[in-house]
Amino acid sequence: MTRTAVIVAWEKFTDIDVYLAWDLLNRIRLRDKEWKVKIVGTEPIHSSLFGINQQMHGNIDECKYADVVLFTSGQTTRRLIKDKAYLDRFQLNPDKQIIASMCSGALLLAALGLLDGLTATTYPTAVKDLQAFGIEVEEKPLVTHGNIATAAGCLAAIDLVGWIAGKTHGTELMEEVVASVQPVGKGLACIY
Amino acid sequence: MTRTAVIVAWEKFTDIDVYLAWDLLNRIRLRDKEWKVKIVGTEPIHSSLFGINQQMHGNIDECKYADVVLFTSGQTTRRLIKDKAYLDRFQLNPDKQIIASMCSGALLLAALGLLDGLTATTYPTAVKDLQAFGIEVEEKPLVTHGNIATAAGCLAAIDLVGWIAGKTHGTELMEEVVASVQPVGKGLACIY
């Protein structure tokens, strides 16, 4: 069964939040060849904060069909949460999809109404903007409610992708993915 | 004073090892506008293990002029250590340059003779190949000797770039870079 995880990027995306998720989500493919990972945006190419010109693998209209949708981060999120035409393209369903965010990506989950009545975490510089949606912000690396997760602080991507892998493939693969990126002498176990 | 750190990539480079170093080394730029980071290879574009087509910012002949040279990782290292024409292009000087590796990149340091008489760390699957150069392998995230460092296990990139930042810019910036990527509630301190 083909399943797809999409990483949502935009102009001036935070490099580490896109590429850490990209690598970690692709590690699931080492155990499940029908697992696909794509980086999607609104343009053929988006440039990162630090200047990587990243070709998109598709556009955000695909998010509604994806099994996992992960919003990344960057200052641009502050503009996108006010862009109704942009937000209208997602049409996400948290009953059927796993929906997650890194750092300020939580603002997009909030703008899409996905955090109504829930708590969440976000990057410190985005806390006030998230609270402005009426969301209670928790000072934690990872906050999950059902199929929705918010993570914050770049390395919390490990916890977040671990949680995603656990939801899609079970505890064993979750542990394998997390162990595969640990430092030597601190829990590293090779996955390839 | 302009200083340059180059990240050496190749065909089928390990995504996380290039991009984690890329993001972390660029964080130094947030405090030092004359600090430059480049990804270099032998072709205009190299594709990662998981399929990112990464445009190179220069080629490996620039390494001899760089202040910091960081070799990344991937299966391709096993072929490159036998490629004399490739190795001859580096002409590195550990008295004047900081020279480092992630994971199997240590094999290239060994092939260049830079680890002679030193200990080093590498990814578990590369330990035997590194020992074949007569190098004593330590099971540690980071091993440093003067201007030379080897790190292994993807997340050891944090320790490695912290060490580089300490060498080039001092302890305060080292701590800032490392703190800037920690999870929320686990030591995160914003750098921007």
* B-chain residues near A15 (CB < 8 A): 19, 22-23, 26
Q: Are strands A45-47 and A53-55 parallel, antiparallel or unpaired?
A: antiparallel
Smallest Cα distance from A135 to chain B, Å: 17
Q: Look up the ipTM and state it.
A: 0.96
A171 exposure class (CB count in 10 Å sphere: 0-12, 13-18, 19+): exposed
CA–CA separation, B63 and B6 (whole Å) = 7
In whole angstroms, what is the distance from residue A54 CA to residue A7 CA?
Answer: 12
Residue B40 is predicted with a pLDDT of: 98
Residue B192 — pLDDT band, cuts 50, 70, 90? confident
Measure in Å the smallest separation between the Cα of A170 and chain B Cα atoms: 22
Mean pLDDT, chain B, rounded, equals: 97
pLDDT band, residue A192 (cuts 50/70/90)? confident
Burial (Cβ within 10 Å: 0-12, 13-18, ≥19) of residue A184: buried
Report whether B14 contacts A22 (CB < 8 A): no
Question: SS3 helix, strand, coil % of chain A, rounded to 5?
Answer: 35, 25, 40
In this predicted structure, what is the pLDDT of residue A12?
A: 98
Percent of chain A with pLDDT over 70: 100
Cα B74 from Cα B58, distance rounded (Å):
20
User: Per the structure block, which two tokens stand in for B55?
Assistant: 């445009």
What are the pLDDT digits (tens) for B8-43? 999 999 999 999 999 999 999 999 999 999 999 999
Which residues of chain B does A123 touch, with a Cβ-Cβ cutoff of 8 Å?
184, 190
Looking at chain B, the whole-number percentage of residues with pLDDT higher than 70 is 100
pLDDT digits (tens, 9 = 90+) for A130-187: 999 999 999 999 999 999 999 999 999 999 999 999 999 999 999 999 999 999 999 9
Q: CB–CB of B26 and A152 under 8 A?
A: no
Torsion angle of the four alpha carbons A141, B157, B46, A26, in this order, in degrees rounded to the nearest 10: -40
Q: Is the pLDDT of residue B1 over 90?
A: no
Instruction: List b or e across A57-70, with b for residues whose CB sees 16 or more CB atoms inside 10 angstroms.
Output: beebebbeebbbbb
d(CA A49, CA A104): 14
Q: Which two tokens stand for residue B190?
A: 């914003």
Report field, pTM of the whole predicted structure over 0.90: yes
Residue B118 corresponds to which tokens in the numbers above? 């030193």
Which two tokens mark A163? 């949680």
Q: How far apart are CA A184 and CA B118, in angstroms?
A: 18
> How far is Cα A13 from Cα B152, in angstroms, rounded to an integer?
27
| Mean per-residue pLDDT, B145-165 | 97
Does A141 sit within 8 Å of B22, measured CB to CB?
no
Quote the pLDDT of residue B183: 97
Parallel, antiparallel, or unpaired for β B142-145 and B148-151? antiparallel
Task: Say if residue B50's pLDDT is above 90.
Answer: yes
Tell me which chain A residue has its CA closest to the CA of residue B157: A183
Which of these, B41, B60, B62, lies nearest to B52 by C-alpha position? Answer: B41
Look at B141 and A184 and tell me if their CB atoms are within 8 Å: yes
pLDDT number for residue A176: 95
Taking CB atoms and an 8 Å limit, are B181 and A15 in contact across chains? no
Contact B141 A52 (CB under 8 A): no
Give A54's contacts in chain B (Cβ within 8 Å).
52
Cβ atoms of B131 and B113 within 8 Å: the answer is: no
B55 vs B58: CA distance, rounded Å: 9
Contact B16 A16 (CB under 8 A): no
- Other Cβ atoms less than 10 A from the Cβ of A38: the count is 18
Query: What are A90-123's pLDDT values in tens digits?
Result: 999 999 999 999 999 999 999 999 999 999 999 9
Q: How confident is the model over A56-65, as a mean pLDDT?
A: 98
In the prediction, which pLDDT does A20 show? 97
B178: confidence class by pLDDT, cuts 50, 70, 90 = very high
Please enumerate residues of B whose Cβ is less than 8 A from a Cβ of A. Answer: 14-16, 19-20, 22-24, 26, 29, 37, 50, 52-55, 121-125, 139-142, 151-156, 158-159, 180-186, 188, 190
Q: How far is A35 from chain B (nearest CA, A)?
A: 12
| pLDDT bucket at A125, cuts 50 / 70 / 90 | very high
Instruction: Please state, in angstroms and rounded to a whole number, the distance separating the CA atoms of residues A162 and A179.
Output: 10
Give residue-wise pLDDT tens across range B63-81.
999 999 999 999 999 999 9
State the Cα–Cα distance between residues B5 and B154, nearest whole angstrom. Answer: 19
* pLDDT on residue A1: 86
Residue identified by tokens 């190098």 is: B135
> Average pLDDT, stretch A37-58?
98
At residue A71, the pLDDT reads 98
Q: Extract the tokens encoding A81.
A: 């949460």
Mean model confidence pLDDT for chain A: 97
